[in-house]
Structure 1
């Protein structure tokens, strides 16, 4: 994935906090790429809430929704025991984050322009 490889776990918290701040107000899709279960969308173009790494529980959490009557519920997708995080925000059509878990399954988080209220 083109962009920044956030290989040092010590930088994951800060990198994802900065990304959350920079991508506020955007829509996000969450796609799980796993050879065992196939490729599946967890969420498609829903309002982005946050993306974080919890070092205590060793989990990356991406949350969508919860910001309006149209999307009142927060959906949290968790990637337990991540081994790799790649962030692409420069010179790409849509900013994206790839998180690879201990078993090699990847979660692709893609950001799209537009406020949640403007999409149908």
Structure 2
């Protein structure tokens, strides 16, 4: 059974740092689900770099690339003024993080393990 938990705001920085460490070397897709513009992919199965919360600027940052000659540039997607972060890591085919902004647009970050022979 899938388990989703809503993170307490005071744990955002630590929890996202822990997720970064747990998913190092994996691929990630970033989807924006916005009622105004529809469903948009920002990145599809690119090498995961990091996921962080900056409390000073009140922004969640997910970064891809920057770890190999194939993907030398780090691309960042930012969610300003997030109001909720949900994490699904147990009982799901692919672990995921959902960040909800103040306008109720959701950013879905899905992790994919890299199999043998898969280049990241």
How would you bin the TM-score normalised by the shorter chain?
Answer: over 0.9
Quote the Cα distance in structure 2 between the aligned partners of 1:104 and 1:35: 8
Aligned residues: 118
Alignment of 1:69 onto 2:49? no
Quote the Cα distance in structure 2 between the aligned partners of 1:45 and 1:109: 10
SS in 1 for 2:20: helix
Match of 2:27 in 1: 27
Unaligned stretches of 5+ in structure 2? Answer: none
- CA RMSD, 1 decimal: 1.6
User: What is the CA deviation profile of residues 38-73 of structure 1, one whole-angstrom value per residue up to 9, with x for unaligned ones?
Assistant: 100000000000000000000000000000010011
Quote the Cα distance in structure 2 between the aligned partners of 1:82 and 1:112: 24
- 4+ runs deviating over 3 angstroms: none
SS in 2 for 1:94: coil
Quote the Cα distance in structure 2 between the aligned partners of 1:3 and 1:99: 13
Unaligned stretches of 5+ in structure 1? Answer: none
TM-score, reference length from structure 2: 0.94
User: What is the CA deviation profile of residues 9-33 of structure 1, one whole-angstrom value per residue up to 9, with x for unaligned ones?
Assistant: 1100000000000000000000000
Quote the Cα distance in structure 2 between the aligned partners of 1:113 and 1:56: 32
Match of 1:85 in 2: 85
1:2: how far off?
A: 3.4
Match of 1:105 in 2: 105
Match of 1:12 in 2: 12
Quote the Cα distance in structure 2 between the aligned partners of 1:29 and 1:119: 16
TM-score, reference length from structure 1: 0.94
User: What is the CA deviation profile of residues 78-102 of structure 1, one whole-angstrom value per residue up to 9, with x for unaligned ones?
Assistant: 0000000001111111000000000
